[in-house]
Amino acid sequence: GAVVSQHPSRVICKSGTSVKIECRSLDFQATTMFWYRQFPKQSLMLMATSNEGSKATYEQGVEKDKFLINHASLTLSTLTVTSAHPEDSSFYICSAATGGLNEKLFFGSGTQLSVL
Amino acid sequence: QKEVEQDPGPLSVPEGAIVSLNCTYSNSAFQYFMWYRQYSRKGPELLMYTYSSGNKEDGRFTAQVDKSSKYISLFIRDSQPSDSATYLCAMTSFTGGGNKLTFGTGTQLKVEL
């Protein structure tokens, strides 16, 4: 399957700082990428849909000023958690869509964010 | 009612057993169905992708879709301890254009020696 690289895999930061997470599609161009959040023993919660060259579409209840998404190229999307607080601690996962017929969604390996 | 229902488990089976994982859905517009495997603290890995009703086999894995009953299944033959993970079903009504998936809650599977 296609490869999606996500970095960093783990980050610990102080409350009030900002954290950037990168998501790259390595062997295909992804017009659309998705960002999810996952709490322990729960399923994926879609946060936003990121389209290359346009503003991200956020799901209801997700603060767009707190979770900044940039999709500057067909292979890179970034999620920046601004002024992070302990309640933002979670597992964040990105995915990239291959596009076209029989489109498939491939996931990054996830980022565990811990805010102290 | 959730659009996709999936028993969270945990499901515990002995090594070598046949595992049956299931999801039901309510939205008849769903046409594409996927199964993902997720190990703890890792991103989901695509296992199976199906479109039509019927069976699709890939190694020890068989995906089954029954659109008339709105029911999908994943069978794992000769289960191994390395199959221990959470299995997520996912589905969407169309592809292309980055349509977002609707996920089940995931079933936690443990294969014991």
Query: Of residues A65 and A100, which shows the higher confidence score?
Result: A65
**Helix, strand, or coil (residue A3):** coil
The pairing of strands B107-112 and B11-14 is parallel
CB contact A28 to B (< 8 Å)? no
CA-closest candidate to residue A92, choices A76, A81, A103, A83: A81
pLDDT at A57 over 80: yes
**Token couple for A30:** 């992804």
Rama region for A85: left / alpha / beta (φ>0; ψ in -120 to 50; rest):
beta
pLDDT at A14 over 90: yes
pLDDT at A90 over 70: yes
From CA B48, how far away is CA B36, in angstroms rounded? 7
Mean pLDDT to the nearest integer, B39-59: 92
- Chosen from A103, A111, A114 to mutate, greatest number of chain B CBs within 10 A: A103
Per residue in A24-41, pLDDT tens? 999 888 889 999 999 887
**Token couple for B73:** 């299944």
pLDDT of residue B96: 64
* Contact residues for B94 (Cβ-Cβ < 8 A; gap 6+): B31, B32
pLDDT of residue B27: 92
From CA A111, how far away is CA B111, in angstroms rounded? 27
pLDDT at B36 over 90: yes
pLDDT of residue A40: 84
Residues in chain A with CB shorter than 8 Å from the CB of B36 are 107
pLDDT of residue A58: 95
CA-closest candidate to residue A105, choices B8, B103, B12: B103
pLDDT at B93 over 90: no
The whole-angstrom distance between A34's CA and the closest CA on chain B is 8
